[in-house]
Each structure stands twice: as C-alpha cells, then as structure tokens.
Amino acid sequence: MSVQEEIQRLRELIRYHNYRYHVLDAPEISDAEYDALFQRLKALEAEHPELITPDSPTQRVGGAVLERFEKVRHPRPILSLANVFSEEELRAWEERNRKLLPDGTPLEYVVEPKIDGLTVVLTYVNGVFTQGATRGDGEVGEDVTANLRTVRQVPLRIPVTGTEPPPARLVVRGEAYMALADFEAFNRRQEERGEKTFANPRNAAAGSLRQLDPTITASRPLRLYTYAIVDADGVEITRQWDVLEYLKRMGFPVADGCELCPDLDAVMKMYRVWESERDTLAYEIDGVVIKINDLRVQDALGYVGKDPRGAVAFKFPARQAATKLLAVGINVGRTGTLNPYAILEPVRLGGVTIKQATLHNFDDIARKDIRVGDTVILQRAGDVIPQVVGPVESLRDGDEQPITPPTHCPVCGEPVYRAEDEVAYYCVNASCPAQLVRKVEHFASRGAMDIVGFGSRLAEQFVEAGLLHDVADFYCLTKEQILSLEGFADKSAENLLAAIEASKNRPLQRLLTALGIRHVGSIVAGILADHFGSIDALMAATEEELQQVPGLGPYTARAVVEFFASPSNRAVIEKLRRAGVRLADVRAEAPAGPQPLAGKTFVITGTLPTMSREEATEYIRAHGGKVTDSVSAKTDYLVVGASPGGTKYNRAVQLGIPMIDEEALRRMAEGG
C-alpha cells in the first residue's frame, strides 16, 4: 500500500470512529487505540507534509452535535488544547510564546492534572445552576442539565461562603469523569445484569452523561472537577491560580495537587511527580495541563486554530501504539510449550522502543485473526511486557498472511503435540536443546536448587557445549570440563563446583520445584513434600492417591504421574541419587511446644521485606500453619508485601480477609 493510500485509509477510519464516538455514543475502539491511529496519521503527515489536506482529522478539532438533546450555544468558544509529548516540545512551546510577547514578560505556570473525562460547561444565574452542557463542537454543545443535576459534585446553588456573593452570571468549565474504583464496580454491575460494559472510565462517563433518562445518569457514579471560568459578570480575575481559588470558594470541586510553578524546571518536576503517581491515583489521568498563570498574557497570545497558545497538555507516554507485524517467532519453553511472539516494525511506546511482543498462544491469534503484515495495536501497561491487542482489519490490503500453528518444533524439528484440553502446542522431544536450556536454567534458579551464579547465559553455554544433557549432569561436571569453556578461570570454576555441591542438600520441596513438573510450582511442591516426604514415596503414588491429597487438583495429579512414568525422567532421578542429591526430607520430630499458626491458612503476595516467598512458606509451616496458592473463603490471612498481585489482593478485599505484613506474621508466629 502506498503512503498516500495509507493516509487516506487512516483518515476514513478516524472519521468513522469520530462518528461512532461523538455522534452515536457507541465507540468501537478504546480511546488509546484511537489515539494510536491518530498518532500514526500525524507521523505519516509529518513525514509527507505535501499530503496534508484541510479536511484531514488532524486539521480539525471536535465532532458533530447530537440531535437528540437540545442544542446550547456556548457564550464563548470552548477551546481545546494542543499536546506536547516531551520536555523539548514543552520548551519549544515556551520559546514560541516568548517570541510573540514583549521582552522580559514574566512567565509563571499552573500545572493541573489532566483527568480523562469529558468537558462540561455549567451556568449559574444568581448562584443557581441553570444549565449544563457538553462541549459539542466547541461552539454548540448538548443540553444535559437534567443529567448534570444528578451529579453530586455539581452544586445546585452556590453556597454562601464568607461575604462574597456569587456573580449575577457565572459560567464554569470542568471535567465530568468516573473514578477508577467506581468504574470497576459499575462495570461489574453492568456485567452481572447482562448490560453493556465500557472499555475505560472515560467512555463510561461519556455514555452516562449522554443518557436521555436522567434516572439512569443518577445511578452512575459520575464526578466533576472544575478548572476554568468561561464567563463571570463583574468578577475581575487575572490569574489562573486565582481562578482555582475562586472556584473553590464558590463551592466547586478543584483537583488536588494543582501547583503554581515559577518556571519550566518546576513544571517538569511536577510532570514527573504526576507521572510517577499515575498508577496510584483514584482516577485516570493522561497527562498534565500547563497554563500560563497570567490570563492577560494568555489572552494576548491568542489561538492557533482552536487551541489557545497560552496553555498546553503535556501527555504521558502512550500505552498503546500501532505498528506492523513483520513475522511470528516461536519460543520453546521449559515444558516444551511453543510460545508465539510478534516480531514488529520498531515503535516507541511508553518511552522504550519495542520490537517484540507476546502473542499468548495460537488459539488467541486465531480468535483475534492476527495476520503477518497486519497493522496491529500494541499495549503496554506499567512495566508489563508488551502485548498485541489485535489487528486493525480495515488497514489490510490483502497481502496479509494468516498465521498457522507449527507442525514441527522450530529448534529440534520433531513433530509437535497438542493435548485436547489445552491451548498450548508442545515439543515433546525430551532432548530438544531449547527445552533443555530452559530446564537447566529453571533447575538452577533461586527457589529451586539455587545454584548460585548459574543463570540463563551459562545455561545456554553449557548445553551448547554438550556438558549438560539433563539436569542431573550438573552433578557429573568436572573442573576440567568447566575450564574448557570460555570465560572460566580456576577460581570461577571452583566457585561453581562449590555452588553445585551446596545444592545437593536442598529440602525436598526445592528439588520437586526444580524438576519442572507441569503444574508443580513451589507451593504444590511443598504440599507434595509434606505429604510424601521422599521422592520414592511420591513416585510410588497413583493418580487416585495424589488426587486425595488436600490442595491437589486432577491436572496436577495426572502431571505428576506422567512425569514419573517417563523412563528418561526416572533415569534422571537415579542419576541424582547416585550423585548424592538429597531425595527425602529428614522428618523433624513433631515439634514440641505450641504451634501458634496451627489450623490457619495463609496466602502470600508481593515481596516481603526480609524473607523470600519460599522462606516465608517454610516459616509458616514450621510454626504449624498452611500456605496455599490462591485466596478463597478458607484463607485466614493474606500476607502482603511490596507490589502485591492484583488478583489475590482484590479477592481478599472482596472476601474481607484480613491482610497482614511480615512483621505481623512474625508476631503471630512467635505467639505474640
């Protein structure tokens, strides 16, 4: 497809989604996806300015007015804001302004959060709320007075504070939005009732405000904050900072954390503060708004199109971007799973350049109909691995190639296998080198056999050199063999041998974790170790016996039996035995004295200050408690560390399960 054609297609697409969003109230894509398309168009136009036409969506702000609400002409145009995305662009904005202003004009700024909601314009006559409108196209909006009356943060009458009477006529501008927790609860409720759910708080707020029946709006958790005066009879305010103060005095909600900054350095500081707090706020913000404090200076600067020069939105790095899917690669996992990943035309997203992203599995690819050659939407939340959300089907030109699951392992060439009830494809060749690298890496990792210093780089090196054919080969390595590898000297070889030797004596739970049996992570390994006490007892167990063990499910039982049924796995166990690796726990005498945690079940989430997950598990067990993997009604306590997992945490909140930190756990265990 030529650039000209792509630009044309993008414009049509953006116009279509504008219509869905602004006119029909039924967006088909998220705002972030829309932004990604818009940014792509802008980038192409920037590269080819000769192709820009006045009707391009980048050249116009706003959308059409809905027919079903009364139209309201705004007393003054309700302007939009230009965006900047970097410090350089911000400084260039100031420079442009300075050139238009008399030399030496002092420039102070007010920095406000840019809450992701929708603009509303509220009119008060003699202190009484008379009209509320949406922005519409900036000149004419929709009358949503009855709906806005239901928003509790909208004052129906300006409260008398002090001696200052409200002006005869006051028009304020603000943002209607939904807080994150409200949004999630609202969406859950909608889902339970089988009603429409929303992609994000912004869509939910917009959909809620544009309801024809105000009782529906009343049942939606809308909120408001205000940030500008559109019109105020007889009120002389010349600074944005005073606007915010005045609005607060008049009883309007103003966002917390607005800041007066003497220069752009201070502005940058505030930007970084907001950015770092972005994920902890009660509401979603997509950037900060920076306004010249002196409103007369703002007025003097005038407009470019519909954007005032005196204020600008400094947007946070996008969490979504559009780019081309060039090819699909396949990673071989430790258990032989063949994991597809996307090889992408490099694109900047959230401050880093992304060339690869996960594609989950082949079912997911088929369900989303992702094809090689597609323009795809990428998503990155926080520091999470980027994912391919899906293709932009309307940008296809017919040359895209469907993606088919592999028939052979890309590394060893053996045919692949797929279990009926699973989505993953497997390479079942036990000696597949790619799997072996992952297995060896896992065996040596912390929480498993903990062979200090042996990471993924060494795993590859040792397997490639033919020194490790299975995990038991660790215990057959000689100093000469290690010294034959690049990067090893006497001392480092000895250190490695010592680390391997030390690993022979790990508790059974660690060994069971290290073997990499499917569905057996450290928690399940602990249950198995507790119940059976030795590898021999575990190997002798039948599937039925395993299923009887509390905390084990049928999949795990089957996986354990299958693992030990394999002759090659049994050979590995025998090799470990001959090498002197501990295969059984020395059962401690039933502990004397009281066991303060007896009968209590714990779940651990997040990073604890002084104990690893495994240590905490052992600690709880040693004091009589039980540790399980997921939160249920049977959980007594959730032990919470730093960066807790959302699922466990939220479930515990829902079920009202008490949460404790490491210190409280220790107090409890020591009988305090």
- The site for ligand IVH (CB under 6 A) is made up of 79-81, 112, 114-115, 119, 175, 227-228, 289, 308, 311, 313
DSSP, residue by residue, 94-160 = HHHHHHHS-TT----EEEEEEESSEEEEEEEETTEEEEEEE-TTSSEEEB-HHHHHT-TTS-SB---
Q: Are strands 259-261 and 109-115 parallel, antiparallel or unpaired?
A: antiparallel
Q: Which one, 228 or 388, has the nearer CB to ligand IVH? A: 228
Cα 439–Cα 444–Cα 450 angle in degrees, nearest 5 = 150
Angle at 362 between CA 361 and CA 366, to 5 degrees: 125
Shortest CB 317 distance to ligand IVH, Å:
16
Extended strands (E) in 233-284: 259-261
Provide the phi-psi class of 173: left if phi over 0, else alpha when psi is between -120 and 50, else beta: beta
Minimum CB distance to ligand IVH smaller for 309 or for 651:
309
What are the residues facing 415 on neighbouring strands? 408
In the numeric block, which tokens belong to residue 485?
Answer: 């590898």
Least CB distance to ligand IVH at residue 371 (A): 34
Which one is catalytic: 42, 71, 99, 114?
114
**Smaller CB distance to ligand IVH: residue 136 or 625?**
136
Residue with smaller CB distance to ligand IVH, 202 or 623? 202
How do strand 352-358 and strand 338-349 relate by DSSP bridges? antiparallel
As a residue count, the chain comes to 672
Q: How far apart are CA 451 and CA 497, in angstroms?
A: 9
Nearest approach, Cβ of residue 647 and ligand IVH (Å): 31
138 CB-near residues (< 8 Å, 6+ apart): 61, 62, 74, 77, 78, 79, 80, 306
Cα separation, 149 vs 130, in Å, equals 9
Of 308 and 644, which has the nearer Cβ to ligand IVH?
A: 308
Q: Which is nearer to ligand IVH, 85 or 649 (CB)?
A: 85
DSSP 8-state symbol, 292: E
Q: CB of 119: closest distance to ligand IVH in angstroms?
A: 4
From the CB of 216, what's the least distance to ligand IVH, in Å?
Answer: 23
Contact (Cβ atoms closer than 8 angstroms) between residue 534 and residue 508 = yes
**Contact (CB, 8 A) for 619 and 654:** no
Cβ 242 to ligand IVH shortest distance, Å: 15
Catalytic residue at 355? no
Task: Compute the least distance from the CB of residue 148 to ligand IVH, in Å.
Answer: 15
CB nearer ligand IVH, residue 80 or residue 387:
80
> What is residue 299's three-state secondary structure?
helix
Backbone φ, ψ for residue 161 (5° rounding): -120, 120
Q: Evaluate whether 639 touches 661 at the Cβ level (below 8 Å).
A: yes
List 603's β-bridge partners, or say none.
628, 638
Contact 104/257 with Cβ under 8 angstroms?
A: no
**Of the two residues 81 and 665, which places its CB atom closer to ligand IVH in the complex?**
81
**CB-nearer residue toward ligand IVH: 306 or 575:** 306
- The partner residues of 292 in beta bridges, in order of sequence, read 109
Min dist. Cβ of residue 244 to ligand IVH (A): 9
Least distance in angstroms from the C-beta of 3 to ligand IVH: 28
Phi, psi values for residue 118, rounded to 5°: -135, 145
Pairing type for strands 637-640 and 601-605 reads parallel
Collect all residues with Cβ–Cβ distance below 8 Å to 633 and sequence separation of at least 6.
655
Integer CA distances (angstroms), 460 to 124, 195, 262, 433, 464, in order:
71, 52, 55, 9, 6
C-alpha to C-alpha distance for 325 and 662, rounded to whole angstroms: 45
Minimum Å distance from CB 109 to ligand IVH? 12
Smallest distance, ligand IVH to C-beta of residue 198, A: 18
Which runs of E-coded beta strand occur in 380-454?
387-391, 401-402, 416-417, 426-427
Torsion over CA: 197, 200, 203, 205 (sign): positive
Cα 231 to Cα 35, 157, 173, 228: the distances in Å are 31, 17, 9, 9
Map residue 230 onto helix, strand or coil. strand
Catalytic positions, written as ranges? 114
